[in-house]
Amino acid sequence: MAKIKPSKGSPYARILGVGGYRPVRVVPNEVILETIDSSDEWIRSRSGIETRHWANDEETVAAMSVEASGKAIADAGITAAQIGAVIVSTVSHFKQTPAVATEIADKLGTDKAAAFDISAGCAGFGYGLTLAKGMIVEGSAEYVLVIGVERLSDLTDLEDRATAFLFGDGAGAVVVGPATEPAIGPTVWGSEGDKSETIKQTVPWTDYRDGEVAKFPAITQEGQAVFRWAVFEMAKVAKEALDAAGITAEELDVFIPHQANERIIDSMVKTLKLPESVTVARDVRTTGNTSAASIPLAMERLLATGEAKSGDTALVIGFGAGLVYAATVVTLP
């Protein structure tokens, strides 16, 4: 009986470069207030959001991804031709097939890289990062591009007081490559499908196609239920990720949670008992909730502003529709 040769991958993987793209148009809360009965003070107190970015017609999911990816590839010090796989997490690419990842891989100039999309909502970046790490350790790719990208303005009901102010557009990307020591910890991830109704698309595409509803599908959520789940359950997941990596809260340099809501972020910081020395990402204030893009965008901004630095130890956690979640500890590029 023939034996299969073992894979020749790297013993470890790490994030080598990061890039981001935010659409040109900045949308303040005043614009949101044109269609909902609320106030700037209420939006800020409930979410921490002051502004968000909305894409124009040219800023497609693919176009934003290419911009963010080009920056990440340059930051990693490699060429696009060295990318062996492209993983794109998005829920706002409206073509069922082909995967937008294939278009992005081609436009970047990769050498026929494997390319596919995943749908894991706000946890999508963590899912993609975990897959990339596995590819590198297994040996099926030397460098993997992981992209989180959304045009959630296309899925926002501007008359829904509970969600109209939440969502923004943008793309974040990282290059994952080989490492000589651990730099991406074990992933603590999972799903709670019994809570899937708490964040969902209002109706299936087919209902709109068949004329059963007149309004284009949008994202809706049960705000209080989501808040309670995120605050209490995701803090436990974050702690599990720290334990899995052998890191204590006191040893952490940076905390990059999904940028869903600043109240959730504050509550998680308190529950985890993070010391004041830990830098906490608060990109939600000016970027809003960009789902799969929020963690890499927040990471890119922290590094660009100097609030975080190369080599820092960061806890990242994404959570959202599904309900799904993924948390891990990484060394920043």
Single out the residue of 317, 333, 301, 318 nearest to residue 183, CA to CA: 333
Strand partners of residue 256? 316
Candidates 29, 53, 93, 122; catalytic one: 122
Alpha-carbon gap, residue 68 to 78, rounded angstroms: 15
Place of tokens 């409206």: 94
- Dihedral sign from CA coordinates of 237, 239, 243, 245: positive
Concatenated DSSP letters of 164-203: TTTB-EEEEEEEEEEESS--B---EEEE-GGGGGGEEESS
Is 289 assigned a catalytic role?
yes
Neighbours of 34 (CB within 10 A): 8
Alpha-carbon gap, residue 88 to 187, rounded angstroms: 18
DSSP 289: B
Candidates 29, 53, 93, 258; catalytic one: 258
CB 333 within 8 A of CB 183: no
Quick one: 3 exposed, middle or buried, by C-beta within 10 A (0-12, 13-18, 19+)? Answer: exposed
The strands making up 169-179's β-sheet, listed across from edge to edge, are 12-21, 169-179, 144-151, 85-89, 114-118
Cα distances (angstroms) measured from residue 107 to each of 34, 100, 171, 255? 38, 11, 16, 33
Is 56 assigned a catalytic role?
no
- Dihedral sign from CA coordinates of 27, 30, 35, 37: positive
Tokens of 164: 């109209």
DSSP 230: I
Is 261 assigned a catalytic role?
no
Strand partners of residue 192? none
The residues annotated as belonging to the active site are 122, 258, 289
